[in-house]
């Protein structure tokens, strides 16, 4: 708690005399803890926070207001503030000594303000709420959101604050799309299947990740040629194919996929994701 100092002044007949300096300590029976219930976040993820208020006093603390800065930050050398979290409407749960209470008053914008919190004497309050990572949330590997909540009100002599930090989920985020060319063909024609593998995550897929693409071609292809990003792949070491069944499978580690790149608009601060891409093509005869 805060230590305070005080000194009196005596003025008489043009003279000024100072008293001794007194020292005291402002002690509050109310404590505040903020915890991220979610362990990490990715693009658009929901994040749950828990704020705990414990009242060690014999008098209830009423009319407390919680203010969350929603992870607001500025870029190095800049003054513009970006807010990476958006409150999920209606998500606040307010427990008093473990009993769910009617929803408090919530005002959400660039900050989240929750008012009308009462902490019983010798009791506790837990406030849960969900936010969502928005387009200002940093996504590069090793990034995090540092979030601060404060509590004030009539029963709080000194504003209480606590922080919670949640890291990005550093992993690949993969999707695959398949196309065929030509769309119309007859027996004996050549056909090409194209597989576009995209990685919107902040971590690349490497050989040890054992990514595998498999497909069963119907009609069955013969005399196939397989390329990855235009480079020829070798049957037996990088893929297997059964011309009797049409079953195709890449061998684990044969298809790396680069990480996404994340670009921040210098004017708006919005983070844009450009996925890393690997293109697998398989050409054969019907």
Determine which of 22-26, 66-70, 223-227 has the lowest per-residue pLDDT on average: 22-26
**pLDDT: is 65 or 153 the higher one?**
65
Please give the average per-residue pLDDT across 167-182, as a whole number: 96
CATH number at residue 181: 2.60.40
169 contact partners, CB below 8 Å, separation of at least 6:
40, 41, 42, 45
Residues 192 and 275 in one domain: yes
Question: Which among 126, 141, 167 is the end of a domain?
Answer: 167
Structural contact between residues 33 and 148, judged by C-beta atoms closer than 8 angstroms: no
- The answer to the question of residue 127 being in a domain is yes
Q: Are residues 136 and 178 in the same domain?
A: no
- Cβ atoms 11, 4 nearer than 8 A: no
Q: What is the pTM of this model?
A: 0.79
pLDDT digits (tens, 9 = 90+) for 8-44: 787 877 787 787 776 644 555 899 999 999 999 999 9
Q: What is the pLDDT of residue 156?
A: 78
34 shares its domain with 104: yes
CB atoms near residue 83 (< 10 Å)? 18
Q: Which residue segment(s) compose the domain that 71 sits in? A: 30-167
208 and 149 in a single domain? The answer is: no
- Inside any domain, residue 269: yes
Is residue 14 exposed (0-12), middle (13-18) or buried (19+ Cβ within 10 Å)?
Answer: exposed
Helix (H) or strand (E) holding 126: strand 124-133
Same domain as 197, residue 142: no
- The verdict on residue 22 lying in a domain is no
């Amino acid at each position: 708690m805060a230590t305070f100092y005080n000194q009196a002044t005596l003025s008489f007949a043009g003279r000024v005399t100072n008293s001794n300096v007194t020292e005291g300590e402002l002690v509050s029976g109310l404590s505040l803890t903020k915890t991220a219930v979610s362990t990490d976040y990715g693009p658009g993820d929901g994040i749950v926070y828990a704020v705990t208020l414990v009242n060690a006093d014999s008098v209830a603390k009423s009319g407390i207001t919680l203010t969350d800065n929603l992870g607001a930050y500025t870029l190095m050398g800049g003054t513009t503030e970006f807010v990476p979290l958006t409150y999920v409407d209606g998500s606040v749960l307010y427990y008093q000594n473990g009993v769910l209470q009617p929803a408090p008053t919530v005002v959400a914008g660039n900050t989240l303000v929750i008012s009308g919190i009462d902490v019983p004497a010798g009791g506790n309050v837990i406030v849960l709420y969900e936010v969502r990572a928005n387009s200002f949330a940093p996504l590069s590997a090793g990034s995090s959101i540092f979030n601060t909540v404060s509590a004030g009100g009539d029963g709080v002599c000194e504003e209480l604050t606590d922080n919670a930090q949640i890291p990005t989920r550093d992993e690949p985020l993969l999707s695959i799309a398949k196309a065929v060319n030509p769309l119309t063909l007859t027996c004996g024609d050549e056909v090409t299947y194209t597989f576009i593998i995209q990685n919107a995550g902040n971590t690349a897929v490497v050989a040890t990740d054992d990514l595998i693409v498999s497909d069963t071609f119907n009609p069955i292809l013969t005399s196939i040629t397989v390329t990855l990003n235009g480079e020829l792949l070798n049957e037996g070491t990088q893929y297997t194919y059964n011309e009797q069944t049409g079953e195709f499978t890449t061998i684990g580690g044969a298809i790396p996929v680069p990480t996404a790149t994340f670009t921040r608009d210098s004017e708006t601060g919005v983070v844009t994701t450009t996925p890393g891409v690997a293109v697998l093509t398989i050409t054969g005869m019907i």
